[in-house]
Amino acid sequence: MTAEQSNVLTTRDADECRGLARVISDVADKWTVMVVGNLSEGTLRFNELMRRIPGVSHRMLTLTLRGLERNGLVRRTAHATVPPRVDYDLTPLGHSLTAPLSALANWAAANQMELQDAQIRYDGVRTQLPDAGRTRRS
């Protein structure tokens, strides 16, 4: 393999990595997981989603739904009624995301305590190190 071919492969790999990182960032966000999980049960209105997702702000839910719509995962349907009514549901692409997100949520639930214990052990060791909390100056 020539140096030029190697450079092209590295550039392509880096481009693929950046693209993959964008997709993962879009679909693995905690609010996205919760919105997709709730919409997997059927069509919901904005306020229904707000009530079902503890801790989400109005702004964050709005941004999350817009991002999901932009990525083709959620369909927004506005009805010409008084008062206006907007429904959200998953597209076929959005439905295809439910199984991987469900697997991730199940893994997180099954391993939550082990992760928490590891964090406590790590934090305990870090605070006992002589230079813990100090930054190195070169």
Residue 32 has a CB neighbour count (10 Å cut-off) of: 21
Tell me the C-alpha distance between 81 and 87, whole Å.
12
> What does the pLDDT look like over 86-110, one tens digit per residue?
999 999 999 999 999 999 889 999 9
> What does the pLDDT look like over 13-50, one tens digit per residue?
888 888 888 888 888 888 999 999 999 999 999 999 99
Going along the chain from its start, the domains and CATH numbers come out as 3-128 (1.10.10.10)
pLDDT at 135: 53
**CA quadruple 78, 79, 80, 85: dihedral, nearest 10:** -90
Global pTM value: 0.75
